[in-house]
Structure 1
Amino acid sequence: MKYGKKNWVFCDGDLPPKGDNPEFPGHEALMITNVGKKDAHIRIKILFEDKPAYDKITIDLNAERTTCLRLDKPIGKEGYQIPYGQYAIHVISNVPVCACFGRLDVRQTNMAYYSPAGYGF
């Protein structure tokens, strides 16, 4: 049985501020898991409201491995830093992978970690 999809889209990117607690900084994360037997070569495209998409982020994910990309830090082999503000993510892989997206929002005293829905195809 195959698991995963070659394309994933997460529409609700919006990096929250880091906040005042260094133990729990506000951030977003993209988790990608390759449960297959072949290595994944992944390209990540960032789409913006007010400027052209950036599509030069690449990562390699070995077979039967997982990775967590903190999106408040530089990502990919290129070390691209996603700017603050609204954006969307398109994950493109040569083999099926599973992906999810999460956000730790610290704008209120009751912190919230939630996972906006993604679309895989």
Structure 2
Amino acid sequence: MIGRTRWAIPEGYIPETSHGPPEMDSHETVCMLNATDTAAHVGVRVYFEDREPVGPYEVTVPAERTSHVQFNEFEDPEIPRGVAFASVIEADRPVVCQHTRLDSRQAENALLSTVAYPGDS
């Protein structure tokens, strides 16, 4: 079996501005791989420096599939732009998580990607 049920992304930030067409909007993404034969039910909780946490935002990753979820798309409440945050991802079955940021504040875009920190599980 591959993956863990708990992951942490200690660094998050959605830039306030973007440069270029809509598909180049600055964003934060968590990519989740579910290599099991059953759908994974995932909760994403978001933490801030100076306010209470929000979430968990609920996501389902179908069996033997991947899901790319942008933090920009979380609603009720929305994740604010221009504010540092961190997140903890908890799933009911093992998944693999990767963190990606597209920063398009300038015409010369920057892309950062890293595997999230796997928690004990």
AA paired with 1:6? T
- Count of aligned pairs: 117
Which residue matches 1:86? 84
Q: Map of 1:12-91 to 2, 5 A cutoff? A: 12-22=11-21, 23-74=23-74, 80-84=77-81, 85-91=83-89
Contact 1:3 1:35 in 2 (8 A): yes
Check the 8 A contact 2:99/2:114 in 1, yes or no: yes
Aligned identity (percent) is 26
SS in structure 1 at match of 2:52 = coil
Give structure 2 stretches of 5+ with no counterpart.
Answer: none
Shift of 1:107: 2.6
Q: Matched residues in 1 for 2:104 and 2:62: separation?
A: 33
Distance 1:117 1:68 in 2: 13
Q: 2:71, 2:57 → 1: CA distance?
A: 12
| CA–CA separation in structure 1 for the residues paired with 2:78 and 2:87 | 13
Residue 82 of structure 1: how far off its partner (Å) = 1.1
1:102 to 100, 104, 108: 100
TM-score normalised over the length of structure 2 = 0.86
Structure 1 gaps of 5+ residues are none
Contact 1:31 1:99 in 2 (8 A): yes
User: Judging changes above 3 Å, is the alpha-carbon distance between structure 1 residues 35 and 99 closer, same or farther for their aligned structure 2 residues?
Assistant: same
Deviation at 1:89, TM superposition (A): 0.9
C-alpha distance in structure 2 between counterparts of 1:90 and 1:40, whole Å: 15
What is the alpha-carbon distance in structure 1 between the residues aligned to residue 89 and residue 107 of structure 2? 32
